[in-house]
Structure 1
Amino acid sequence: MDTDEGPRVGLLLREWRRRRGLSQLDLALRAGSSTRHLSYVENGRARPGREMVLRLAEHLDIPLRDRNGLLLAAGYAPAYRESPLDSERMAMVRSAVKVMLTGHEPFPAVAIDRIWNIVASNDAMNLLLGVVPPHLTESGGNVMRLILHPEGLASRCLNFAQVRAHALGRLKHQVNTTGHRDLRELYEEVSGYPDPPDLDPDLGPVDPTGIVVPLRIRTPLGDMAFLSTIATFGAPADVTLSELAVESFFPMDDQTDTLLRALAGRR
């Protein structure tokens, strides 16, 4: 079948397959298809059925946003809704996020979207960001900008070289696995930031005995050290929900724990 949809969806599927490092045989076996049929689909000689598109997308671990794009390219309606976070449909999600954020007090936590924009935060995180210029926290702020901008937490980070390498590596991996333009633009922006003034180059090497790359911050109350975890929602069927995550910060030493609890006691 030589249609406008066939070649478009085929090229997209080929791009995702190559991005995942799979051969046509690998993907065909996983999806219960034949190499010949998959080759026809990728070359635009065959139009895949709706279920075939979804099955291939599942085995390629393609984000829901891009699965909708594949369906549209193949001539089908999108399968997943994209609900605004402030909509009635997402009320239960907002409630769950609020429980996660407030339940993590007195330690910082933020809810972020797929390009690291902060969509919600708890009081402890707001206190931590109180040392950041307002222009970096407008409309919630962006985690990558807050960490890497020389006027942001970078200027107070005691192990900035470590944190920068880890953050950029994390973001670059996202760019490579999704190909999303907005993530690539964010990476190009933050990777081009200059180092903060008075950066000590001796603070760069990663501790080979450590288990994580910590975030060490100098605050007016004293130095703090954090490790972080990221939680996502299981089995999402909505694009917005699939791209939502909660990053929680935990104290790495007694001093940080004590300072955060003391701050919480003052509120």
Structure 2
Amino acid sequence: MDVDQWPRVGVLLREWRRRRRLSQLDLALLADTSTRHLSCVETGRSRPSRTMVLRLADALEVPLRERNTLLLAADYAPAYRESDLDDAGMAQIRAALDMMLTAHEPYPAVVVDRWWNVVTGNGAMSVLMAGIPPEVLVPRPNVFRLTLHPEGL
């Protein structure tokens, strides 16, 4: 998605504020800003600084990936790097996950991504998935498809 297609930052901030069930006053107090400035940011009458976007995101407890979305919507560069689990810098995390999966045996266990796609699993899970037709596993095994599909688990 091009930066021009991203929703504006004010709309996204208002969405997050409503998800967190906060009034503008509540958020302004948490982010140490004025309700007037917050209102202007949400309506698009004021462009927040990079620091203000991050401060509001912190007050709203927005996940890091979504903070990048907010920054892009405000025409700033992303602040948080996203790494694939197979990257060299993630070797220790991958080793810890493998250790937990192995320790969970003989019971099936999987690691899933934010879309519930199966990233990896232990040996017991591979035995459990052995009888599932290939079309259920394509493009990637998904927990919902695996459990709810008539030919799945």
Q: TM-score range by the shorter chain?
A: 0.7 to 0.9
Separation of aligned partners in 1, 2:138 and 2:23: 45
Q: Distance in 1 between matches of 2:10 and 2:133?
A: 47
Distance 1:140 1:46 in 2: 43
Greater strand content: 1
Work out whether 1:69 is the aligned partner of 2:76. Answer: no
Contact 1:31–1:55 (Cα < 8 Å) also in 2: yes
Amino acid at match of 1:8: R
Tell whether the 8 Å contact from 1:24 to 1:38 is kept in structure 2 after alignment: yes
Structure 1's unaligned 5+ residue stretches are: 154-267
Bigger radius of gyration among the two: 1
AA matched with 1:122 = N
Q: Would the aligned equivalents of 1:108 and 1:123 in 2 still touch at CA under 8 Å? A: yes
CA distance in 2, matches of 1:57, 1:64: 9
- Aligned counterpart, 2:117: 117
> 8 Å contact 1:108–1:125 — kept in the other structure?
yes
Q: Secondary structure at the match of 2:55?
A: helix
C-alpha distance in 2 between matches for 1:61 and 1:147: 31
Matches of residues 21-100 of structure 1 in structure 2 within 5 Å? 21-100=21-100
Unaligned runs of 5+ in 2: none
In structure 2, distance between residues paired with 1:143 and 1:69:
26
Q: Please give the TM-score of this superposition, normalised by the length of structure 1.
A: 0.52
- In structure 1, give the amino acid aligned to 2:127: L
RMSD: 1.8
Partner of 1:103: 103
Structure 1 residue aligned with 2:148: 148
Report the CA distance between 1:61 and its aligned residue.
2.3
* AA at the equivalent of 1:144: F
In structure 2, C-alpha distance between the alignment counterparts of 1:140 and 1:121, rounded to whole Å? 13
Deviation digits for residues 45-72 of structure 1 (CA, Å, limit 9, x no counterpart): 2221222211211222222221101111
Conservation of the 8 A alpha-carbon contact between 1:120 and 1:140: no
- 8 A contact 1:83–1:90 mirrored in 2: yes
**Conservation of the 8 A alpha-carbon contact between 1:50 and 1:76:** yes
> 2:11 is matched with which residue?
11
Task: Give the TM-score, by structure 2 length.
Answer: 0.88
**Deviation >4 Å, runs of 4+:** none
Report the CA distance between 1:139 and its aligned residue. 5.4
* Shift of residue 77, structure 1, vs aligned partner: 1.2
Change (3 A) 1:139 1:91: farther
CA drift at 1:93: 1.6
SS in structure 1 opposite 2:110?
strand
Q: Is the 8 A contact 1:105 1:122 kept in 2?
A: yes
CA distance in 2, matches of 1:139, 1:73: 30
2:130 and 2:82 mapped to 1: Cα distance? Answer: 33
Deviations 1:123-161 (A, max 9, x none): 0111122232222234551001101111112xxxxxxxx
Distance in structure 1 (CA, Å) of the matches to 2:134 and 2:72 = 40
Seq. identity, %: 66
Higher deviation after alignment, 107-116 or 71-80: 71-80
